[in-house]
Amino acid sequence: MHWKHILKTSLRALAINKSRSLLTILGIVIGISSIMLIMSLGEGARQLILGQVQGIGSRTIAILPGRQPSGPSDAAQMFTDSLKQRDIDALLKKENVPDAELVMPLALGADTASYENETYRATIFGATEAMPEILDFYTERGSFYTSDDVKEFAANIVIGKKIQEKLFANEDPIGKKLRIKEKNFRIIGVLALQGSGSLLNFDESILIPYTTAQQYIFGTKYFNRIIVQVSSESVITPALLDIENTLRSVHDITDPSKDDFFAETSADLLDTLSVITTALTLLLSSLAAISLVVGGIGIMNIMLVSVTERTREIGLRKAIGATEGDILEQFLVEAILLTSLGGLIGVALGTGLSSLFAFAINKAGINWTFVFPLAGAMLGIGSSVLLGLIFGIYPARRAARMEPIEALRFE
């Protein structure tokens, strides 16, 4: 029996029961479309996050307090007071870190800001005047605080766009006073809208000189982060070594395993986030693949029903010379055609749903990129063919081993 004839016969057999064939492949369609959707959204999320990290700057090194966590139990190590002003002073010395251009401490926290009868729970960033340059943002109105403001513990602040909209509505906030911790702070600038796709949500933040934040809001003498911007990407590695050696000297640490700080580059953060997003995508795709197994069982079930319904046809073909191999190939091709059709529909449906999700997310104000997961499409089509082969082999062998006389007697 020629392959062309087998294919033609298989298509005719499937077309006789169109509704049953479509319902049979529903599990395959759901599984493949789910995998396509998850992989597309996972890649879109990865690109969004990595783009935000890259936007912070490829020349930055972040220094965090405590020992670098290697698991959930180590997370508490990060909440220590090991980073202080002495570290800033040491890092600012050119002989210690020759490649450092900017060194910025960060004091982070949250508190309630009030204006007249309105209040807003805001994230507070205490930093230096270098913050816009390092983190790549700008003020839409007014100006940013200066180095003199930092030195003088000035009560000048810059607010995010959402804080302006909530507390001031149609008023001009420049020059107005916000009250935080029983102290008045004068608004000198409003940040441009960052959008919900921003990694750091400055729209709901208050930016203030770190000296002022420590003195009047947090009541601390330590920093949550120190950000160092170096002269170029090529000097990241030597600058990282200089930073570690400088801080060990300041902290009287001779054994690196006893470090009470750790440093991360943008590349380190990119690698970590990439691993996390990839692992989540694979996990969710694996869960979605369960429906493929269910679909495969459905294929095997319907092929067994088809073998029973076509018992006399099988007997007749064997009586006129068809071999066991011919019958086996016939039913295997039918099973593979069913699952392949489900795979193609699943890829098309998953692509359409992914593009709709991307469109909806963009409408929500997040700069989301639609990604067609070529690997997911290839995996979907390949796995659907494999499912047809695996779950079609038993019904096909059962059909091929029928005795012609017994098959012709079947009622």
- Residue whose C-alpha is closest to residue 312's, from 185, 402, 194: 402
Please list the pLDDT of the chain residue by residue as tens digits (411 residues).
466 666 666 666 666 666 767 777 777 788 888 888 888 887 777 777 666 655 556 688 888 898 765 544 444 454 578 899 999 999 999 999 999 999 999 999 999 999 988 899 999 999 999 998 888 788 888 999 999 999 999 999 999 999 999 998 888 999 999 999 989 999 999 998 876 545 567 888 999 999 999 999 999 999 999 999 888 878 888 999 999 999 999 999 888 888 889 888 776 666 666 677 777 777 777 766 676 777 777 777 777 776 666 666 666 666 766 677 777 777 777 777 777 888 888 888 888 888 888 888 777 766 677 878 887 788 778 877 887 777 777 766 776 676 666 555 555
Dihedral of the alpha carbons of 4, 9, 12, 18, in degrees to the nearest 10 = -100
**Given this model, what pLDDT does residue 197 score?**
47
- Residue whose C-alpha is closest to residue 30's, from 343, 334, 387: 343
Q: Which two tokens stand for residue 149?
A: 């403001």
**Given this model, what pLDDT does residue 146 score?**
93
Q: Exposed, middle or buried, 111 (CB in 10 Å: 0-12/13-18/19+)?
A: middle
**Which residue type does 335 have?**
A
- Residue whose C-alpha is closest to residue 202's, from 211, 210, 193: 193
Q: Exposed, middle or buried, 174 (CB in 10 Å: 0-12/13-18/19+)?
A: middle
Per-residue pLDDT reduced to its tens digit, 193-233: 876 545 567 888 999 999 999 999 999 999 999 999 888 87
**Given this model, what pLDDT does residue 75 score?**
46
- Residue whose C-alpha is closest to residue 184's, from 162, 147, 154, 160: 154
**Given this model, what pLDDT does residue 53 score?**
59
Neighbours of 378 (CB within 10 A): 11
Can you give the residue ranges of every domain in the chain? 3-52+277-409, 81-259
DSSP state of 287: H
- How much is the mean pLDDT over the chain? 80
How far is it, in rounded angstroms, from Cα 373 to Cα 144?
A: 43
**Given this model, what pLDDT does residue 36 score?**
83
- Residue whose C-alpha is closest to residue 344's, from 292, 382, 386, 294: 382
**Given this model, what pLDDT does residue 129 score?**
93
Q: Which two tokens stand for residue 210?
A: 């770190």
Contacts of 89 (CB under 8 A, 6+ apart): none
- Residue whose C-alpha is closest to residue 367's, from 156, 199, 195: 195
Q: Which two tokens stand for residue 137?
A: 């943002």
Q: Which two tokens stand for residue 350?
A: 């998953």
- Residue whose C-alpha is closest to residue 173's, from 161, 155, 181: 161
Helix/strand/coil (H/E/C) assignment for every residue in 295-319: HHHHHHHHHHHHHHHCHHHHHHHHH
Dihedral of the alpha carbons of 343, 344, 347, 349, in degrees to the nearest 10 = -110
Dump the DSSP string for 173-227: -TT-EEEETTEEEEEEEEEPP--TT-SS-GGGEEEEEHHHIIIIII--SB-SEEE
Per-residue pLDDT reduced to its tens digit, 115-133: 988 899 999 999 999 998 8
How far is it, in rounded angstroms, from Cα 297 to Cα 311?
A: 21
How far is it, in rounded angstroms, from Cα 186 to Cα 174?
A: 8
**Given this model, what pLDDT does residue 185 score?**
95
Q: 303 to each of 4, 233, 258, 293, 368, how far by Cα in Å?
A: 21, 61, 65, 15, 43
93 φ, ψ to 5°?
Answer: -75, 125
Q: Which residues of 308-344 are buried (b: 16+ CB within 10 A; e: fewer)?
A: eebbebbbebbeeebeeeebbbbbbbbbbbbbbbbbb
- Residue whose C-alpha is closest to residue 230's, from 95, 85, 97: 97
Q: Which two tokens stand for residue 236?
A: 């990241």
**Given this model, what pLDDT does residue 214 score?**
94
Per-residue pLDDT reduced to its tens digit, 53-105: 555 566 888 888 987 655 444 444 545 788 999 999 999 999 999 999 999 99
Q: Which two tokens stand for residue 235?
A: 């000097």
DSSP state of 48: H
Neighbours of 186 (CB within 10 A): 13
